[in-house]
Structure 1
Amino acid sequence: MDASLKQIVQKDGTPALVSYLRDSCPIPVPPPDRVWKNFISQAERDAMELDPNVETFRVLCYNILCEKYATERMYGYTPSWALQWDYRKELILREIMANDADFVCLQEVDNASYEDYFLRNLSSHDYEGVHWPKSRYKTMGEGDRRLVDGCATFYKASKYTLVEKQLIEFSAVAMQRPDFKKTDDMFNRVLGKDHIAVVCLLENKETGTRLIIANAHIHWDPQERDVKLVQVALLIEEVEKIAHSFAKYPPRLPPTPSSIASSSTALSAAQNNASSRPPPIYSDGYKIPLIVCGDFNSIPSSGVYEFLSTGVVPPGHADFMSHLYGKYTSEGLRHKLGLKSAYAAAGELPMTNYTPSFQGAIDYIWYSTANLSVNSVLGEVDKSYLEKVVGFPNAHFPSDHLCIVSEFRVRPPKDSQPPRPPPVFPESSSRAHT
């Protein structure tokens, strides 16, 4: 053994040598860029770009691995310098900016990082944001509150108006269900979890098209599949209610010529043509384009995936694990949102979470198939690179999760009508579902 290495062992023991070798080993060659998988031809894309009636947007979803969870005990294979937040946050921001998404949905974002880093940096690139921490922040002092993580959603402010933002606290919503109140399993298994979802109701400033972007973080423990399924059922029920409420809002009138002329951003002829069209009318919430994305901590063979993709889960599903949850386990689960995973057409990614103990897809971007279509998705990480690394995070990937990105195009609702009088609701409002 080399004399310097021998000295480390003699002085501080074998663990110190392992740490030294881990931190000083050469950085592997970075992987090639992830390749976009296109579901439309180049000719179709060219035609879309020339058609002022075609509306597209891009969604990025990313569990960024909160600073306080990124410990050497959890990620002992990661060089200590690559685990430091100051190093990781720059890679995260770089990846967000490189994908130039209209909507950026992040999980495990603590208050301090949101306010001091992401909001400050992204606001200079046309983003505005919405953030809520997990429910436990309510029980903490001001200093500790800054370290509580939650969900953050950013949107392109020049393109979209935030009409309303809503918080869904799964435990609080569960408490409000009469059929749950006499259920011991709900008290013992669901109420102790403080996971949340952040829902943003937005309108395209030029076309009046509405969008609902739900950003969720579901319970992690693989031994509690029932809790995941209950949380997702509560999420979807609340999203359906929110969508129907949003549909009742009168449409915004398109911008006047004077307001267009006074805009600081020059609008193309195509945009002007689009903005001159009457904004769409939504007869019910199912007509509004919907995105439900986040870290679902559930693989494609799970009850969570089955429920979201098919709209049905029977009352005796194995993922309820024989626990009792009121009507969920007496009647089963149903929804009519018509959701599909953006990556389903590509067979789902081999993994969105990569550690020595687990490699699999658990992060998803779900979309409403009645009014949205997928143009493309950001593909997988190079297989030969993965064969050479132990797990994420590492020098090139700042989180144990993979960033997923999808581009969509909007299908206008069939029942659009001429515009009604302008709405009376404020520019932006906030209400929490608790």
Structure 2
Amino acid sequence: MDPLTQVSSDAFLNRKVLHHRHSHEDRAQQFSVVSYNILADCHVSPQTYPCCPEEHLPMSARHQQLEKELRYLNADIVCLQEVGTTYYQEHLLPMMQKQGYNGFRFKEKVLGCPEGIAMFFRTSRFSVVDFTSFDFNSKFKELIMKYVGESERDYVYKYLEKTSVMMMCRLCCKETGRVVSVGTFHVIWWMGLMPSAPQHVEVDVQSLQISVAMSELVKFAGGVDKPHILCGDFNSSPFSPAYGILTRGHLGGGGYEMFRALRPFKVSDNESKCLIELLPSSLYSHPSKSLKSAYAEVKGKEPDFTDYTDSFVECLDYIWFSSDSIRVTEVLDMVPESAITPLTACPNRVFPSDHLSLKAVFHLTNQQN
């Protein structure tokens, strides 16, 4: 291995643990959560990742590094996004089962997209209380039927129709008997993140997905006072309207202005409408009253990046938690940029995805479930 690759490889499995400033918890009571977009094969080509040598592009080549990383992360709960359907069945599930995880929780995306989301939990630590999954199109159809006039329903649904899905699992800790609900999903890509793309394309849809996801998780958990964690690839920077919804619980003024500027529905030669005129603005909110981001809580800010390609570097992935019922005690810091730049960008022969994994350690408060 050449010296530059060795530096990257050393950093890959030697990340710094960052402790919360008020962390004095009994480690036996703690549990860890990982969130990771592992980059499905169906999205990979020499054109999409030109800086990655072609021999390192297929998941068959990236699998060994991914296995090393998941062993290193050694989490109690693992939430993965962009999991290829065939890869899950033939490689990922058997691998995780050998490591002591239960891994039958997989939800493929809709509209023919051959990848999805997966959730694993360590069987020695947790048992399943309840599990559910859904596609966002079915939730949006319910909202459209309730709020949108019959003449406008078809084009609103066509605008909202995407491949995204979500899964939620309520887990009981075998050591404490405490219950925590965990959700994961992969938000649609916001094209406005790319400087060359039309700004704010479908950012309203993205924000609606995130609002619905958080609302559904609170309902699934049994109410705002029940412990809940939402993690995944949110495709949202810390400056996006969607991030603001998560932190505030509702859409801010700048978001209203941005959404009103979008006019995707041409209803006549002289009139166009925006989504926020057709659906109540109250839908762009969530009921979780104490939601915090694990990394921002420990570090004081979000990571500089969780996605690193040759053309795009941004923070898009998060682990959110209900801070009145859960404490974050530590997070695993991101690898420094200096560990990636010798290999140009991700993925590469060391880093198996264009995203970087997140890991947070939590402790349930004394509040009763």
Residue 240 (structure 2) pairs with residue 292 (structure 1):
no
Q: Which residue of 2 aligns with 1:333?
A: 285
What amino acid maps onto 2:63 in structure 1? Answer: K
Take 1:364 and 1:314, find their aligned partners in 2: how far apart are those partners?
20
- Cα deviation code 1:378-430 (max 9, x no counterpart): 112223233433210011111000011111111021x57xxxxxxxxxxxxxx
Residue 332 of structure 1: how far off its partner (Å): 5.0
Gaps of 5+ in 2: 192-200, 263-273
Encode CA deviations 1:319-339: one digit per residue, 9 max, x unaligned. 535422444437752423421
1:11-26 equivalence runs, <5 A:
none
Indicate the residue corresponding to 1:188 in structure 2.
158
The equivalent residue for 1:401 is 355
Q: Which runs of 5+ in 1 are unaligned?
A: 1-24, 138-146, 245-284, 417-434
| Aligned equivalents of 2:119, 2:340: Cα separation in 1 | 29
Q: Shift of the alpha carbon at 1:124?
A: 1.3
Partner in structure 1 of residue 216 of structure 2: 238
Say if 1:28 and 1:196 are closer, same or farther in 2 by CA, change over 3 A.
same
The residue that corresponds to 1:211 in the other structure is 180
SS at match of 1:68: helix
- In structure 2, relative to structure 1, the CA distance for the partners of 1:99 and 1:319 (3 Å cut) is farther
Deviations, residues 22-46 of structure 1 (Å, cap 9, x unaligned): xxx996333222211111478x35x
Question: What residue in structure 2 maps to residue 369 of structure 1?
Answer: 323
Do the aligned partners of residues 176 and 360 (structure 1) sit closer, same or farther apart at CA in structure 2, a change above 3 Å counting? same
Report if the CA contact (8 A) 2:218-2:228 is conserved.
Answer: no
Could you tell me which residue of structure 1 aligns to residue 294 of structure 2?
A: 342
TM-score between both structures, scaled by the size of structure 2: 0.84
CA–CA distance in structure 1, aligned partners of residues 283 and 205 of structure 2: 17
- TM-score, normalised to structure 1's length? 0.72
CA distance in 1, matches of 2:67, 2:289: 32
CA distance, structure 2, for counterparts of residue 349 and residue 181 of structure 1? 43
Q: Deviations over 1:239-259 (max 9, x none)?
A: 222122xxxxxxxxxxxxxxx
| Structure 1 vs Structure 2 CA RMSD | 2.3
Amino acid at match of 2:38: I
Cα distance in 2 for residues equivalent to 1:94 and 1:180: 49
Identify if the C-alpha distance between structure 1 residues 181 and 386 changes in structure 2 by more than 3 Å, giving closer, same or farther.
Answer: farther
Aligned to 1:61: 35
* Cα distance in 1 for residues equivalent to 2:170 and 2:282: 33
1:336 and 1:381 mapped to 2: Cα distance? Answer: 31
- Which residue number corresponds to residue 258 of structure 1? none
Q: Distance in 1 between matches of 2:170 and 2:283?
A: 31
Q: Output the CA distance in 2 between the equivalents of 1:408 and 1:397.
A: 26
How far has the Cα of 1:287 moved from its partner? 2.6
C-alpha change, 1:41 and 1:179, in structure 2 (3 Å) is: closer
The one-letter amino acid paired with 1:188 is K
Write out per-residue CA displacement over residues 242-299 of structure 1, whole angstroms, 9 at most, x where no aligned residue.
Answer: 122xxxxxxxxxxxxxxxxxxxxxxxxxxxxxxxxxxxxxxxx223211100000000
Conserved? CA contact 2:217–2:228, under 8 Å = no
Amino acid aligned to 2:215? E
Task: Give identity over the alignment, percent.
Answer: 29
- Residue 79 and residue 199 in structure 1: after superposition, are their counterparts in 2 closer, same or farther (change >3 A)? same
1:104-115 pair list within 5 angstroms = 104-115=78-89
Q: What amino acid is aligned across from residue 6 of structure 2 in structure 1?
A: V
Which runs of structure 2 are paired with 1:136-285 in the superposition (5 Å)? 136-137=111-112, 148-177=114-143, 178-180=146-148, 182=150, 183=152, 186-191=156-161, 193-222=162-191, 223-244=201-222, 285=223
The whole-number CA distance in structure 2 between the counterparts of 1:319 and 1:61 is 29
Q: State the Cα distance separating 1:227 from its structure 2 match.
A: 1.3
CA offsets 1:193-246 (integer angstroms, 9 cap, x no match): 0201111111112322111110110001322211110111111222222122xx
Structure-1 separation of matches of 2:309 and 2:149: 39
Separation (CA, whole Å) in 2 of partners of 1:155 and 1:207: 16
Q: What is the aligned partner in structure 1 of residue 107 from structure 2?
A: 132
Tell me which structure has the larger Cα radius of gyration: 1
- Structure 1 residues 84, 372: closer, same or farther in 2, change over 3 A? same
Contact in 2 for aligned 1:372/1:408 (Cα 8 Å): yes
Contact 1:229 1:319 in 2 (8 A): no
In structure 1, distance between residues paired with 2:282 and 2:291 = 24
Letter in 2 for 1:356: D
Instruction: Report the number of matched residues.
Output: 335
Find the aligned partners of 2:34 and 2:186 in 1 and give their Cα distance: 15
Could you list the per-position Cα deviations for residues 78-130 of structure 1 after superposition, in whole angstroms to 9, with x for gaps in the alignment? 01111122220111121111111000000011221111111101111110020
- d(CA) in 2 for partners of 1:64 and 1:77? 18
2:53 to 68, 74, 79: 79
Which of 306, 313, 320 is the aligned partner of 2:251?
A: 313
> Would the alpha carbon gap of residues 304 and 201 (structure 1) be closer, same or farther in structure 2, given more than 3 Å must change?
same
Evaluate the alpha carbon distance shift between residue 166 and residue 29 of structure 1 in structure 2; reply closer, same or farther with a 3 A threshold.
same
Aligned partner of 2:305 in structure 1 is 351
